[in-house]
Amino acid sequence: MMTPRGKDHRFDSRLLMVGFGSIGQGVLPLLLRHIEMSPRQITIVSADEAGAEVARAYGVELLCRPLTPQNLAQVLEPLLGEGDFLLNVSVDVSSVALVAWCTEHGVPYLDTGIEPWAGGHVDRTRPPAERSNYALREAALALRRPRGGGPTAVLTHGANPGLVSHFVKQALIDVAQATGVAAAPPATREGWARLSRDLGVRVIHVAERDTQVASRRKAAGEFVNTWSVEGFIGEGCQPAELGWGTHERQLPPDARRHDYGSRAAIYLLRPGAGTRVRSWTPLAGPQHGWLITHSESISIADHLTLGSPTRPDYRPTVHYAYHPCDDAVLSLDELAARNWRPQPRLRVLKEDITTGMDELGVLLMGHARGAYWYGSQLSIERARALAPHNSATSLQVTAAVMAGVVWAMCNPQRGVVEPDDLPYAEILALCRPYLGEVVGVFSSWTPLDGRGWLFDEDLDRDDPWQFRNFRVE
C-alpha cells in the first residue's frame, strides 16, 4: 500500500481559498500535509459559514463574504498580492473574472471547473450554446497572452475534469504496450494525438460508478449527492456536451455545432441530466450513465485532434458517462419531474456514508484490444483512513487539487493552462497515494452486447463505436 508522503513544496506567501464546501474542507488538510506553510498564511472566503468549524480546527480564518461582480475587487485586493495564490473551489463565482483579476495582479490560480456567475448554468433566457461548457472554456482560454506566459492559471483541475486527463495519457501508454506498439510517452500535444490515432482509439468515456450509501436515505423534496449538490444540479441542467469524433457517421438530430473556437465538441438540445448513455466499468460492468457536460469532454477531444479544427483528420468522441450514487439517481429523477427546478432541500453525503466506493476512470474503446478502463477504485473506508473530511468521491477530487496546486506553485509563470498541458506522470505520482486501487482492465464489452433480442432497435452493427449505439433513447 502506498502511503501519503511528506512536504512537496515550501510556500511563503498567502493562499486564498474561495469556497469552502465539501471540496474545500477536504483539500485543506491535504494542502497543509503536502505544502510547507502555516495555517496563518491561509484565508478562506465563503458565501456561508457551513465549514467554519473545520476552518477553526485547522487555525484558518474564514470570512463570510459572498463574491459578486460588484464586490470582487474590493474583497480580493486586501487579501492577495503578487506572488500569492488563489484556489477557487466555489460555485456561482465567475472563473473568468477571477482568472482575469489574478492575471492582472500577478497571482497564480487554480480551479476545479469553469463557473459562471450565479444562475448562469440555468438562465432560461440564454440559448443553450451560451450556457455550454464549450462557451465557458473558450472564454477562459481567450485570457491567454498572445506569447504565452504570465501568472499560472490552472483551469479545471479536480478529478473530472482534471485527473482523468492524466488517466487518458497513462491508458494510451498501457494500450500501446499491450498491443505491441512501440511508444515512449510523447513530448508534444500532437504526439499524444498521433499515438491515440495510431492505436485506433475511437471513443473515450469518463466512466464512473458511485455506490456510496448513507445511513439516512433521500426523502421527497430533497436532492442528495456525494459532492456539491449545487454544482451537480448546475451542470446537469446545462446542455449535454461531447467531443465529436471523426469516425462518427451521423450527427444526432438534436445536436448542434459551434461556429467558433476549437470546434471539438457538439451539444444536444436537452440537459445532461436528461440524457443517458451505455458505458462500462470493471466492478459495475455494463451500466447506463448520464451524459453530464464536463470540460474534459471538450479539452481531451481538442488535445487529441489532428488536422484543421473545421475538417480534422482524427479526433475521438469523448464524453462523461456518470452513474452517481443511488440517492442521487432518485434525486435526478425527481429533478426532471420538477421540470429541472431544484428541490427545496439539498444535502451532501459525507460523515453519514456507511459503505460503498467511487469507481472513476477512463474507458478507451476501438483499439486492437477492444476496450480498456484505467482509473481509481476508492472505498469510503480507505478514503477515511487516508484523509479527514473526505468521502471516496471528494478525495479523488481533492488529491488532484492538491497536486495541481503544488505544480502551479512550482511553475508560477506558465500562463493559462488545462490539465492536458500538465506533466501527467508527475501529477499521478502526487495523486496516487489517495486513489485506492489504481487498475487497468481490458474488456470485450461494446454497446451492442446483448442488444436487439427484445426490441428491434435502430443500431449500427457495422461499427459498434458509433454514438447512436451508446445513447439510450
pLDDT at residue 6 in the model: 64
Residue identified by cell 427546478 is: 341
Give span(s): CATH 3.40.50.720, the chain.
9-154
Alpha helix segments (H runs only) across 304-346: 326-337
CB–CB of 472/276 below 8 Å? yes
- Sequence-separated (6 or more) residues with CB below 8 Å from residue 117: 68, 69, 92, 93, 94, 97
Please check whether residue 402 is in contact with residue 30, taking contact to mean a CB–CB distance below 8 angstroms: yes
| pLDDT for position 382 | 98
Q: Which amino acid is at 444?
A: S
384/403 Cα distance (integer angstroms): 19
Asked if residues 252 and 467 have their Cβ atoms less than 8 Å apart, the reply is: yes
Q: What is the rounded distance in angstroms from the CA atom of residue 119 to the CA atom of residue 91?
A: 10
3-state secondary structure of 240: strand
> The pTM is what?
0.97
CA nearest to 24, candidates 4, 59, 3, 52: 52
- The whole-angstrom separation of Cα 189 and Cα 205 is 20
Measured CA to CA, the distance from residue 119 to residue 124 in angstroms comes to: 9
Distances (CA, A) of 289 to 254, 332, 448: 19, 12, 16
Please check whether residue 398 is in contact with residue 27, taking contact to mean a CB–CB distance below 8 angstroms.
yes
Put residue 308 in one of left, alpha, beta given phi > 0 → left and psi -120 to 50 → alpha: beta
Which residues share a beta bridge with 18?
45, 88
SS3 293: coil
The confidence score (pLDDT) of residue 3 equals 43
CATH 3.30.360.30 in the chain: give the residue spans.
163-391+432-472
Cα–Cα–Cα angle for 117, 120, 123, rounded to 5 degrees: 145
Q: Which CATH superfamily includes the segment(s) 163-391+432-472? A: homospermidine synthase like (3.30.360.30)
Grid cell in block for residue 401: 487539487
Rounded CA separation 22/32 (Å): 17
Which grid coordinates are listed for 378?
476508492
Gap between the terminal Cα atoms of the chain:
43
Residue 5: the pLDDT is 55
Note down pLDDT in tens along the chain; length 473 residues: 344 556 889 999 999 999 999 999 999 999 999 999 999 999 999 999 989 999 999 999 999 999 999 999 999 999 999 999 999 999 999 999 999 999 999 999 999 999 999 988 888 889 999 999 999 999 999 999 988 899 999 999 999 999 999 999 999 999 999 999 977 999 999 999 999 999 999 999 999 999 999 999 999 999 999 999 999 999 999 999 999 999 999 999 999 999 999 999 999 999 999 999 999 999 999 999 999 999 999 999 999 999 999 999 999 999 999 999 999 999 999 999 999 999 999 999 999 999 999 999 999 999 999 999 999 999 999 999 999 999 999 999 999 999 999 999 999 999 999 999 999 999 999 999 999 999 999 999 999 999 977 776 789 899 999 999 999 98
CATH of 9-154, one of 3.40.50.280, 3.40.50.2300, 3.30.460.80, 3.40.50.720: 3.40.50.720
Residue type, 473: E
